[in-house]
Copies of this chain bind each other. A is one copy, B any other.
Amino acid sequence: MTSPDELYQAHRELLDRAISAASARDYWSAFPESPSKKVYGDQAAPAGDRAFTALLGQTFAVDVPGAVGTVSTERSPYGLELGISYPKGDPQALVAAARAATPGWRDIGPEGRAGVAVEILQQLHARVFELAHTVQHTTGQAFVMAFQAGGTHALDRGLEAVAYALAATTRMPARASWSKGPLHLEKTATVVGRGVGLVIGCTTFPTWNGYPGLFASLVTGNPVIVKPHPGAVLPLAVTVQVCRAVLTSAGLNPDIVTLAAEDPGDGIAATLATHPEVRIVDFTGSSEFGDWLEANARQAVVYTEKAGLNTVVVDSTADYQGLLGNLAFSLSLYSGQMCTTPQNILVPRDGISTDAGHRSAAEFGADLAAALDKLLGDPRRAAGTLGAIVNDGVFSRLTEAGTAPAIVHPSTAVADEQFPGATIRTPLVVQLDAADEKTYTREWFGPVSFLITTDSTAHSLQVFSETVRAHGALSALVHSTSPSVLDAARSAALDAGVHLSENLTGGVFVNQTAAFSDLHGTGANPAATAALTDDWFVAGRFFTLQSRRHVDPS
């Protein structure tokens, strides 16, 4: 048995480094993102493959307090038969178990909890190849992306949340002395969690979007019930399994983290989210359910990350090929099934000025389509970038949008050698005018984007600011060589409440954010009430309780 204090001592250097990176906002990562043998050795990949294969067709080995029967709800977008079942969660029993485990978790203090959290992250990292397979076959992310976004980047986001939570819960000293003339007091400050935490996972990024809330709630002193999306249970089931094993081996009650698997339609997310003892809700998913949670989970603080109208404003560029290649990749990565994928691309009707000369709006559309075809011309490479369509909802939106009268780039099927059953599609780009706001102010999550002609860049910025203020966004991008346009775009982004990327023409993409440096979400527009990760994301999860008494000053 390794105590929480011993785990803290073992991981203290890493924690200090993580806190310092989060404060500096420069590049830092604790978990190498390359799945190459040079980094992970010869055996890691095949061992991960075997571990994943051993899970197939089994009842997953995780204790769930009060579970009744099992559920089996997943279907691989790659067509692999999963056949995994999970103990079915009972909301009342899960909350009761979480409550019972709370005092012991409170008493070990912030450092002990951070030590346990880092140990969990390290043990998940030891299973990162297995974890990548679980992400691939639930979300449809291609393997390398699943390894990175679903594995190492998710672990980085988890560690970032640990760092913020530890810094926030230790900023006020646990002991202080107070002297005023003849009066001398000793004071203590104790961090107490807000209550039971609930993490509601999504189907596309179960780990990347789930880990921040999970680890932020844990380190601030709360037990967490993990409620995965029925379509992506496995990555979070592995996570809960590791959490419980680490808790147990640290001599703690494992019910600090439990799994709440359900059949689609059981609605236990709503039951749990409105339970009086559930005081923290983290949610990633549809605007519809996110808005419902914000309105109805009144007894809890609710951190949501929903959807919006991610926007690109194209004014001018000094690197036209770079612009096209960068944007084509952003539209293609994981078939646009990212909450940060651009949907609305605003271009002046009269065209743009580039280093390759003036390009009309129509020419820009044709050039973007050509860039997509070039990027996705080789089927193997295309499959590795696009991944698979996660579910029927995405597919039906794609089908609906494909009936539009003016298509800039049609969506076509791509075959995958390894997984012939995979549903893989290239991005659809539809031509619209700024007047067609009924269409482009809807969210079309998936490989659907709009090339929207406007009167001018000023008009583009106005459409950008107004639509994002009203409907939200998680990302925005501007291309311009004009300092005054960039200034105006920054101002519009501040008004809209969205982060802005400028002139991305190389290997950084608008839909990607880096832990410890980039915030994901702002809270300032309707797409999210949280930013991953800032002080607001952790400060609502705990209280500081003081006690004070006279002491002899000698």
- Which residues of chain A from 132 to 174 have a CB within 8 Å of any chain B CB? 168, 171-173
Given the interface pairs A178-B514, A187-B25, the reply to whether A500 lies near B547 with Cβ below 8 Å is yes
Is B497 in contact with A545, judged by CB distance below 8 angstroms? yes
Q: Does A433 contact B (CB under 8 A)?
A: no
Q: Separation in Å of the A369 CB from the closest CB of chain B?
A: 25
Tell me how far the C-beta of A196 lies from the nearest C-beta in chain B, rounded to whole angstroms.
14
Q: Which residues of B contact A168 (CB under 8 A)?
A: 535
CA distance A171 to B535 in the complex (A): 9
A179 at interface by CB-CB < 8 Å: yes
A295 located at the interface, meaning its Cβ lies under 8 Å from any Cβ of chain B in the complex: yes
The residue of chain B having its C-beta at the shortest distance from the C-beta of A294 within the complex is B298
Q: Answer whether A27 and B543 are a contact pair too, CB < 8 Å, given A192-B524, A504-B550, A508-B185.
A: no
Q: Which residue of B lies closest to A502 (CB)?
A: B549
Interface centre among A24, A179, A182, A543 (most CB of B within 10 A): A543
B180 touches A27 (CB 8 A): yes
Query: Chain A, 297-313, contact with B by CB distance < 8 Å: what is the 0/1 string?
Result: 01000000000000000
Q: Distance in Å from the Cβ of A329 to the closest Cβ of chain B?
A: 14
Give the oligomeric copy count: 2
One of A5-13, A37-45, A117-125, A515-523 contacting the partner? A515-523
Contact partners of A183 in chain B: CB under 8 A: 506-508
* Binary CB contact string for chain A from 179 to 217 against chain B (1 if under 8 A, 0 otherwise): 110110101011010100000000000000000000000
Residues of B within 8 A of A171 (CB): 23, 535
- B179 in contact with A548 (CB, 8 Å): no
B residues in contact with A545, CB < 8 Å: 493-494, 497-500, 522, 524
Partner of A501, one of B517, B539, B544, B547: B547
Q: How many Å lie between the Cα of A534 and that of B220 in the bound state?
A: 15
**What are the residues of chain B within 8 A of A544 when measuring CB–CB?**
519, 522, 531, 534
Q: For the complex, what is the distance from the CA of A4 to the CA of B543, rounded to whole Å?
A: 34
Q: How many angstroms between the C-alpha atoms of A507 and B182 in the bound complex?
A: 9
**Is the C-beta of A287 less than 8 angstroms from some C-beta in chain B?**
no
Q: Chain B nearest CB: distance from A313 CB in Å?
A: 13
* Complex contact B519–A546 (CB within 8 A): yes
Which chain B residues border A192 with CB–CB below 8 Å?
Answer: 494, 497, 524
Q: Does A505 contact B (CB under 8 A)?
A: yes
With A168-B535, A524-B192, A536-B540 given, is the CB distance from A547 to B502 under 8 Å?
Answer: yes
Write out, one digit per residue, whether chain A residues 5-37 have a CB within 8 A of any chain B CB (1) or not (0). 000000000000000000111110000000000
- Is residue A275 within 8 Å, beta carbon to beta carbon, of the partner chain? no
Does A470 lie at the interface of the complex (its beta carbon under 8 Å from any beta carbon of B)?
A: no
Write the nearest CB–CB distance from A214 to chain B, whole angstroms: 20
Closest-by-CB residue of B relative to A190 is B494
In the complex, the answer to whether A543 meets B531 with C-beta atoms within 8 Å is yes
Question: A497–B543 contact, CB under 8 A?
Answer: yes
Q: Report whether B24 and A173 are in contact in the complex, using a CB–CB cutoff of 8 Å.
A: yes
Residues of B within 8 A of A173 (CB): 23-25
Q: How many Å lie between the Cα of A183 and that of B27 in the bound state? A: 10
Give, as a whole number of angstroms, the nearest-CB distance from A500 to chain B: 4
Are B517 and A176 neighbours in the complex by a CB distance under 8 Å? yes
Asked if B26 and A548 sit within 8 Å, CB to CB, the answer is no
How far, in angstroms, from A237 to B185 measured CA to CA in the complex? 37
**Bound CA–CA A400/B498 (angstroms):** 56
Contact A550 B506 (CB under 8 A): yes
Per a CB cutoff under 8 Å, which of B179, B190, B493, B507 touches A27? B179
Chain B: CB-nearest residue to A546: B499
| A409 contacts the other chain (CB 8 A) | no
Chain B residues positioned under 8 Å from A187 (CB to CB): 25, 517-518
CB of A305 to closest CB in B, whole Å: 14
Q: Shortest distance in angstroms between A520's beta carbon and chain B's nearest beta carbon?
A: 10
Q: How far is the CA of A194 from the CA of B497 in the complex (A)?
A: 10
Asked if A127 is an interface residue, CB under 8 A from chain B, the answer is no
Please name all residues of chain B whose beta carbon is closer than 8 Å to the beta carbon of A190 when the two chains form the complex: 494
Q: Which of B25, B502, B539, B547 contacts A536 (CB 8 A)?
A: B539
Structural contact, A178 and B25, CB atoms closer than 8 A: yes
A-B interface, 4 closest residue pairs, ranked by CB to CB distance from nearest: A25-B176, A524-B543, A502-B549, A536-B539
Given A518-B548, A539-B540, list of 13 further CB < 8 A pairs?
A25-B173, A25-B187, A182-B507, A192-B524, A497-B543, A499-B546, A500-B546, A500-B547, A501-B549, A502-B549, A504-B550, A534-B539, A534-B544
8 pairs, A vs B, C-beta closer than 8 Å: A24-B176, A26-B176, A182-B506, A182-B507, A183-B507, A497-B543, A503-B550, A540-B540
Residue positions of A touching B, CB distance < 8 A: 23-27, 106, 168, 171-173, 176-180, 182-183, 185, 187, 189-190, 192, 194, 295, 298, 490, 493-494, 497-508, 514, 517-519, 522-524, 531, 534-536, 539-540, 543-550
